Amino acid sequence: MPEALGFDLPAGGAEFAPIGRSPSILRIFDLVDRVKDLDTPILVYGESGTGKELIARAIHFRGARRMGRFVAVNCGAIPDHLLESELFGHARGSFTGAMRDKPGLIEEAAGGTFFLDEIGDLSLPLQAKLLRVLQEKEIRRVGETRMRTVDVRFVSATNKHLEKEIAQGKFREDLYYRLRIVTIDIPPLRERREDLELLIRHFAERYGAELRRGRVAFAPAALELLHAYSWPGNVRELQNEIQRCLILSGEERVVRPEHLSLSLSPDPETVPPPTADAADNFFEAKADFVRRFLYQALHRYNYNKARTAEEIGLSRQALFKLMKKHKIASQAVREDGGRP
């Protein structure tokens, strides 16, 4: 999904325009421009749905290697016994079904960029072979003895903490340091709330045009729920949600709370109505928003206060103080989320 990070990358990928104004995203835009012409290995960190492949594509299509191919492989999606042949190629007769010589995906990316998604899922034997490629710029096809020189820039990505994988013996330390010469950390959506409004507008315009709906607005209550949600699936989840609610709203020009997913729209009986003064008093409106936000967050996480505090970016003590201030009663639910 090309927009998953907040870039709009057209078909062909030659250009992209940033969709975001948060400091963390602006730093990433700057870093992409700094490394786009380098052949240095780049490691991209980020949770699922943050746009790791998009970063790799942006680096490739904006950089000196844009005339070469961009080739991607998901290391966790292909079984080990097939992945080696996919990466390095094979000679005719090297195994059952090898009817002809076949170059691997790394060779296919010659002059361009090779993207290893979910590098943390690569097996230790293949990690050793990849390390040699990075060091020597050579590959050997399965069933051959001669080495072949390759001219490829490597970009890798993972949602795992590779330091922990190294400590557990699941990832090679020497490969880790070879891959992470330049590291790009993509923040989750919950840490870049400033971009939420821009992304909602972008996806609404995109899917409104695809559905031939014209301009679609969001009711204030629906926007409040979108802003209150923690987005564990990050921008990919937001993108899917906006597409879904535009479809469900039919010919209506306004998206209301009932058009949103159940995970975003809690049972109305659990959320108190706005106070009478909230409509025309700034301080009352602010307090009312905080109160409703807390009710929705607590309901979403089954009144597990430890998790609620973590997801909305508060300490447990700060959450307790706000609950007391806004007279929100604790439910009979254990801190681990279970019921007594």
pLDDT in tens, the chain (340 residues): 344 444 444 444 434 445 788 899 999 999 999 999 999 999 999 999 998 998 999 999 999 999 999 999 999 888 887 888 888 876 665 666 666 777 788 989 999 999 999 999 999 999 999 999 999 998 887 776 778 889 999 999 999 999 999 999 999 999 999 999 999 999 999 899 889 989 999 999 989 888 888 788 888 888 888 988 889 899 999 999 999 999 988 888 888 888 888 778 655 555 555 555 555 556 666 777 777 778 777 777 777 888 888 877 788 888 888 888 877 776 533 344 443 3
Give me the pLDDT at residue 224, please. 84
Strands 42-45 and 153-158 turn out to be: parallel
Give me the pLDDT at residue 280, please. 55
**According to CATH, what is the number of the domain 191-325?**
1.10.8.60
> Rounded CA gap, 264 and 259, in Å?
10
CATH superfamily of 7-187: P-loop containing nucleotide triphosphate hydrolases (3.40.50.300)
Residue 269 structure tokens: 């009986």
Instruction: Determine contact, residues 181/40, Cβ cutoff 8 Å.
Output: yes
Give me the pLDDT at residue 265, please. 66
Dihedral pair phi/psi, residue 42, rounded to 5°: -125, 135
Q: Domain-by-domain residue ranges, the chain?
A: 7-187, 191-325
Give me the pLDDT at residue 90, please. 65
CA-CA distances (angstroms) from residue 138 to 131, 148, 158? 10, 5, 24
Only one residue has tokens 């409040």, namely 224
Q: What contacts 45, CB < 8 A, 6 or more positions away?
A: 52, 157, 158, 159, 183, 184, 185, 186
Give the residue from 221, 195, 149, 179 showing the smallest Cα distance to 3.
195
